[in-house]
Amino acid sequence: MGKLTPELLLHGYSVGIFPMSESRDDPEIFWVDPQRRGILPLDGFHISRSLARAMRRNTWTITTDHDFRGVLDGCADRPDTWINAEIRALYIALHERGQAHSLEVWEDGTLVGGVYGVVLGSAFFGESMFSRRTNASKIALACLVDRLRQGGFTLFDTQFITDHLASLGAVEISRAQYLAHLADAKERSASFSLAADASPQDVMQRMTQIS
């Protein structure tokens, strides 16, 4: 792969591929084009009884785009990560252009979880998330799904599917199905910043009303 620019990165997303590196110390970046793709249907987020209870009792603060670099670094703070220095710089550049966003979870002023991704049309491409407290990543995803719903998004791409994501309602679809969803989402408009930041309790109440 030649030098990757923010423009080329966005083009990759627009045709259904995304970049990765083998490790934080590997300078090489390659494109990934899975035959099976993970998505989280925005009307299918699953809240277990334990998660619902945690959200109702929670005192954490939720913000968006307040500490994008902190979320990015939190996601890379693990023994094995695909976020190398070049990838980090590229996503920061997209954030500064308003094309990448973060959602943060705070406990008494300390960043304890979060998720970030890229926006194109009405598609949100979830890149990574992290958690330093029990349920922090689940609550981050619940709040993100709520924000995407309110902002008019139609596609939440999780790239791959894990047991964690599957427990929250994520499903796996074929590449052809994914590209059809993507083609539709690219033609629609959505706003990540339309909604105000909401507490886990507010999100829980809205999701209960929807279901």
The model's pTM is 0.94
pLDDT score, position 27: 87
Radius of gyration from C-alpha coordinates of the chain: 16
Residue 96: how many other CB atoms lie within 10 Å: 11
CA distances for 114 relative to 66, 152, 167, 188, angstroms? 11, 21, 18, 26
Domain ranges of the chain: 34-79+99-210
131 φ, ψ (degrees, to nearest 5): -150, 130
Topology (CATH level 3) of domain 34-79+99-210: Aminopeptidase (3.40.630)
> Tens digits of per-residue pLDDT, 123-169?
999 999 999 999 999 999 999 999 999 999 999 999 999 999 999 99
> Tens digits of per-residue pLDDT, 29-88?
999 999 999 999 999 999 989 999 999 999 999 999 999 999 999 999 988 888 999 999
What residues pair up with 71 in beta bridges, in sequence order? Answer: none
pLDDT score, position 1: 54
116, 141 in Cβ contact below 8 A? no
> Tens digits of per-residue pLDDT, 84-135?
999 999 999 999 999 999 999 999 999 999 999 999 999 999 999 999 999 9
pLDDT score, position 3: 81
pLDDT level of residue 18 (50, 70, 90 thresholds): very high
Residue 2: how many other CB atoms lie within 10 Å: 5
